[in-house]
A and B are shown apart, each in its own frame.
Chain A
Amino acid sequence: MGRQLTISCFRYNPNIPGDKPRMQDYKLEEYEGMTLFVALNDIREKLDPTLMFDFVCRAAICGSCAMLINGRPRLACKTMTRTLPSRFTVMPLPVFKLIGDLSVDTGTWFRDLQVRAEAWIHTNKKFDFNALEVRMDNKIAEDIYDPEQCIECGCCVANCITANIRPDFIGSTGINRLYRFLIDPRDERTDAEYYEVIGNEDGTFGCVGLMACDDMCPKEIPLQENLAYVRRKMAAAGLKLTFQGVKIS
């Protein structure tokens, strides 16, 4: 027989008039290999059909299920209950808009980020259906793949002091996203053009260096290294623009 778990869940459905934020305890029996994906679905299907949360792939690939588990932002799908005490709390991620209970709107936040940061390949070339691909060193392809692995789960954002107090800060996920394009030879933007997008307090200079993002990344992307690279590049670009007499806001 497994442990008796007590899962203390944050509950609040803003669509129900008069509903109030509260914690609610659910008791269930643990079994071998139980993840929070299994546990939360068990609660919904057997104990409380109103409980809201998000899962899609249940394999730590899609980034849907980040939540605060005993206070730490983690992916619920790959969190084994055996790594937790028999009583623990689950709360929605901060920073993102609450949809209900454990479900938050990461989709809108990240969409806004992509559009603001113009996070796509900028090129003046036209695609030629009949031409061969442009050659690339395999090492460069692998280097781009590393930051590209971000699944936009929001764990780093939730754990970031700046993101918690400054709503427009793009977070280390945003800076990592720009890093991915900065090192991509197919992107023709100059450093000065990147500077316009992220050379400010909402971008790379908003980070105060607490490094809480780095510890939280479920894909173990070296966020701080990538951020340092972007910051060096942007500092240099800023200086260059200053020497050229360009007014920097």
Chain B
Amino acid sequence: MSAKNTHISDVLVIGAGLAAERSAIECASAGLNVIILSLVPPRRSHSTAAQGGMQASLGNIAMGKGDNPEIHFADTVKGSDWGCDQEVAKLFCETVPSMIRQLDFWGVPWNRVTAGKKKYASGIETEDTKDKEGLITARDFGGVAKWRCCYTSDGTGHTVQFVVDTQVCKLGIPVHDRMEAIALIHDGETCYGCVARDLRNGELNVYLAKSTIIGTGGAGRIYAASTNAVINEGTGGAIALATGVVPLGNMEAIQFHPTGMPPVYILMTEGARGDGGYLLDKNMHRFMPDYEPKKKELASRDVVSRRMVQHIRAGYGVTSKYSTQQHLWLDIRHLGRQWVWKNLREIATIATNFNGIDPAKELVPVIPTQHYTMGGIRTNKDGAAYGLKGLFAMGEAACWDLHGFNRLGGNSLAETVTAGYICGKQVAKYTLGATQNFNMKMVEGFVKKEEERIKNLISGKNGRENVYEIRDAMGTAMMDHVHIFRTGKSLEQGVAKLQELYRRSLKIGLRSSGQGANPELAQALRMPGMVRTALCVAYGALTRTESRGSHFREDYPKRDDVNWLKRTLAYWKEGADLPTLDYEPVACPILPPGDRGYGEASAGPKGK
């Protein structure tokens, strides 16, 4: 075996979700030759599963009146628990309104403002005036001062991905789907592209480019239970980490969404609570106002998730046929059948399909579930990765650092297209000034190394470990030791388990022949990278002796701005079985650290 095909382009985009496609559009529009490669066809990307909407301060709806990028910025920084890059957040908040309007221009059927007096389920009464009628509307979301989450029913990610993909089709950008990048090609200073495995036939391909963009999404599947699609295994970050010179930033910052639906942990959108839904306990008591009198169910996600687990621990969890663990209820019955099946249709369908529940008349079981990777490939504000020239990253795969230690709902979908636009422009600029000069001997070396890995997996030269057993054990270790509530002792155990699993992952041997587009081989090739990613999360969490945003240490329950106003950078040195951690300061030039206005620091723990 050797590389079947070599593809040369100006820009190589790995991934075809929203951040990846939006950046590809920017590069192709600058006249560059772009190739997109992706695990799946673009319209099957996980971006399509985003339900609730995109945050942008359009201020069209009455409840968003007076909104502007400064208020959006303040919400984002507070949400991040002062962990985000404020320059990036400012740029993002200022750019996102025009991104929403551009998506509208391209065809997204955003829901619109209708004029008239309204009475919402929460009891709020407002009037939308004629002068705003027909402009893009918005719904409420967690951790925000104004209603600014623009939406199309609860299928926002779907409509945005489909529309952005129409532009990729129109521009004629080639998409090589079912093609998985398995290693970056680099010389320690510059990235030259990647080695990819064709998931149609198993053949290796080489992609060479002046610039390589990674937009492969999050790593949720390192946890046994996640709202993420099964393809979200953090492969983009893992191949960057494997270079030894590119760090992953803030991997310990993992978001747990308050409302995953057991037993399959599919997401029930935050829009359900944004539109007035409640959380109830086993006594049918609406408990969130007891903990968070101001924001109630709409505090930031990290806070609501912790309050839920706290409430379950206090003995108020529900035992039911839907889950082996205790859960709570999401109640949207009072929104009315028409609202539920019009504006929350996606989740109503999911509840019906998977649990036989009609949420217009029944309660939906929910439990906080891994949802989002705030960390990722560390980049500067142009999307350029630390460590390698010509390598860029965007969206959930990146730590551009819009989200710090907790992302606001509706800010990730908004980030994908906004980062794709802002950073895509910078990639184009860089690429137009770059020259292409490949050392084919070096390229061949990378291909050989991957061939060798495949050969050894098939022959069982390094061992006969079962890939699925290791994956399951990793998922369980992350659930047991690196979840919502963390302690030093448990994290130490988690790190030790993961280190052992990492050593075993290097000894995987296939049970099948590995021929053609063999799925066991695909999983086996990813496995060491997945465990390395999991170790970056666990070890980063063990080392960070404070609580910030979603990273909550029971043994260090306070945010520590004196010692920990800094970003974790995790590197993986060759031959190591733990990441090497480094830190860089987080500057707060615009909004100095303060009180979020919700969460444990603002309202003491109580509960009934």
Q: Do A and B come from one complex?
A: yes
Where the two chains meet, the residues of A that have a C-beta atom closer than 8 Å to any C-beta of B are 13-16, 32-33, 35, 37, 44-46, 48-52, 54-64, 78, 99-100, 103, 105-108, 110-111, 114-115, 118-121, 123, 125, 127, 129-138, 140-142, 144-145, 148-149, 151-152, 181, 184, 186-187
Instruction: State whether A131 touches B266 (Cβ < 8 A).
Output: no
CB distance from A118 to the nearest CB of B (A): 8
- Mark the stretch among B272-280, B296-304, B347-355, B572-580 that contacts chain A: B347-355
CB distance from B96 to the nearest CB of A (A): 12
**Is A105 within 8 A of B353, CB to CB?**
no
Asked if B134 contacts A56 (CB within 8 A), the reply is no
Cross-interface CB contact of B517 among A63, A99, A142, cutoff 8 Å: A99
Q: Are A132 and B135 in contact (CB under 8 A)?
A: yes
Complex alpha-carbon distance, A151 and B511, angstroms: 35
One of B40-48, B241-249, B369-377, B403-411 contacting the partner: B40-48
Set B100, B159, B200: member contacting A145, Cβ < 8 A? B159
Check: B109 CB closer than 8 A to any chain A CB: yes
- Jot down 28 A-B pairs with beta carbons below 8 A, ordered by A: A13-B517, A15-B517, A44-B520, A45-B468, A56-B45, A57-B229, A58-B266, A59-B354, A62-B48, A62-B49, A78-B353, A105-B200, A107-B177, A118-B170, A119-B169, A120-B170, A123-B105, A127-B105, A132-B135, A133-B110, A135-B112, A136-B112, A137-B134, A141-B112, A142-B342, A144-B109, A145-B153, A148-B159
**8 extra A-B contacts, CB within 8 A, seeds A63-B44, A145-B153, A184-B107:** A61-B158, A62-B44, A78-B354, A107-B41, A107-B178, A119-B166, A127-B105, A148-B159
Inter-subunit contact B105/A59 (CB<8 Å): no
How far in angstroms is the closest Cβ of chain B from A237?
22
A161 to chain B, nearest CB (A): 25
**Measured between alpha carbons, how far is A182 from B194 in the docked complex, in Å?**
41
Q: Report the nearest A residue to B472, measured CB to CB.
A: A45
B190: Cβ under 8 A from any A Cβ:
no
Query: Would you give the shortest CB distance from B468 to chain A, in whole angstroms?
Result: 4
**A186 nearest CB across to chain B (Å):** 6
Residue of B nearest to A114 (CB): B169
Taking the complex as formed, is B136 at the interface, i.e. its CB lies under 8 A from any CB of chain A? yes
Known contacts A111-B41, A127-B102, A136 near B134 by CB under 8 Å: yes
CB pair B155 A145 closer than 8 Å: yes
**CB pair B266 A13 closer than 8 Å:** no
Residues on B with C-beta less than 8 A from A49 are 468, 510-512, 518-520
**Interface 1/0 per residue, B105-128 and A, CB below 8 Å:** 111011111100000000000000
Q: Are B134 and A135 in contact (CB under 8 A)?
A: yes
What residue of chain A has the Cβ atom nearest to residue B38's Cβ?
Answer: A107
Do B516 and A61 touch (CB < 8 A)?
A: no
CB-nearest residue of chain B to A187: B107
For the complex, is B167 an interface residue (Cβ under 8 Å from A)? yes
Chain B interface bracket (under 10, 10 to 19, 20 to 34, 35 or more): 35 or more
Chain A residues near B167: list those with CB within 8 A: 120
A151 to B40, CA, bound (A): 14
- Chain A residue nearest to B511 (CB atoms) is A49
Given A56-B46, A111-B169, A148-B162: A141 and B515 interface contact (C-beta under 8 Å) = no
CB contact under 8 A between A61 and B48, given known A107-B41, A133-B101, A141-B111: yes
A149 in contact with B101 (CB, 8 Å): no
**Which residues does chain B contribute within 8 Å of A138, judged by CB atoms?**
111-114, 134, 137
Separation of A133 and B510 alpha carbons in the complex (Å): 55
Chain B: minimal CB distance from A248 (Å): 27
Q: Which of B339-372 contact A (CB under 8 A)?
A: 342, 346, 349-350, 353-355
Query: When the two chains form their complex, are residues B517 and A100 in contact, meaning their CB atoms are under 8 A apart?
Result: yes
Q: Which residue of A129, A130, A142, A149 contacts B158 across the interface (Cβ within 8 Å)?
A: A149
Residues of B within 8 A of A33 (CB): 263-264, 322, 354-355
A110-B41 contact given A58-B266, A141-B112, CB 8 Å threshold: yes
Interface residues of B in 149-208 (CB under 8 A from A): 152-153, 155, 158-159, 162, 165-167, 169-170, 172, 175, 177-178, 200-202
Nearest-Cβ distance from residue A169 to partner chain B, whole angstroms: 20
The answer to whether A35 and B354 touch (CB under 8 A), given A50-B512, A59-B49, A114-B166, is: yes
On chain B, the residues within 8 Å of A78 by CB distance are 353-354
Residue ID in chain B nearest A113 by CB atoms:
B169
Q: Is B519 touching A44 in the complex (CB atoms < 8 A)?
A: yes
Q: Does B480 contact A (CB under 8 A)?
A: no
Cα A44 to Cα B511 with chains together (Å): 11
Distance in angstroms between the alpha carbons of A125 and B107 in the assembled complex: 13
Contact B152 A141, beta carbon cutoff 8 Å = yes
User: Taking the complex as formed, is B4 at the interface, i.e. its CB lies under 8 A from any CB of chain A?
Assistant: no
- Cβ of A105 to closest chain B Cβ, rounded Å: 7
B133 at the interface (CB under 8 A from A): yes
| CB of A8 to closest CB in B, whole Å | 20
B459: Cβ under 8 A from any A Cβ: no
Q: Inside 8 A of B165's CB, which chain A residues have their CB?
A: 114
Residues A58 and B229 in contact in the complex (CB < 8 Å), given A50-B518, A133-B101, A133-B135: yes
Query: Does B321 sit within 8 A of A, measured CB to CB?
Result: yes
**Whole-angstrom CA separation of A106 from B43 in the bound complex:** 11
Q: A15-B517, A110-B41 are in contact. Are A142 and B111 (CB under 8 A)?
A: yes
B104 at the interface (CB under 8 A from A): yes
Q: How far is the CB of B105 from chain A (nearest CB, A)?
A: 5
Which 4 residue pairs spanning A and B have beta carbons closest together?
Answer: A15-B516, A135-B134, A107-B41, A120-B166
Name the distance in Å between B538's Cβ and chain A's nearest Cβ: 24
A63-B44, A152-B43 given; A132·B178 CB < 8 A: no
Contacts of A99 in B (CB 8 A): 178, 200, 517
Q: Which residues of B contact A107 (CB under 8 A)?
A: 40-41, 44, 177-178
Complex interface: chain B residues within 8 A of A187 (CB): 107
How far does the alpha carbon of A99 sit from the alpha carbon of B169 in the complex, in Å? Answer: 23
B249-279: CB near A (< 8 Å → 1, else 0) gives 0000000000000011011000000000000
Q: A125 to B102, alpha carbons, bound, how many Å?
A: 12
Please indicate the chain B residues that have their CB under 8 angstroms from the CB of A64 in the complex: 40, 44
B543 cross-chain contacts in A, Cβ below 8 A: none
Q: Complex Cα distance A183/B230, Å?
A: 35
CB distance from A166 to the nearest CB of B (A): 23
Alpha-carbon distance between A119 and B106 when the two chains are bound, in angstroms: 11
Q: Could you say which residues of chain A place their CB within 8 Å of the CB of B48?
A: 57, 61-62, 151
Complex Cα distance, B108 from A186, in Å, reads 10
Residue with the highest number of chain A CB atoms closer than 10 Å, among B134, B137, B172, B519: B519
- CB contacts (< 8 Å) of A61 on chain B: these are 48-49, 158, 346
Tell whether B129 is near chain A: CB-to-CB under 8 Å.
Answer: no
- Complex Cα spacing A137 to B114, Å: 8
CA distance A59 to B167 in the complex (A): 26
Query: B602 in the interface, Cβ–Cβ < 8 Å?
Result: no
B490-520 contacts to A (CB < 8 Å): 510-513, 515-520
Q: How far is the CB of A140 from chain B (nearest CB, A)?
A: 8
Specify which chain B residues have a CB less than 8 angstroms from the CB of A48 in the assembled complex. Answer: 512
Residue in B107, B202, B230 whose beta carbon sits within 8 Å of that of A120 in the complex: B107
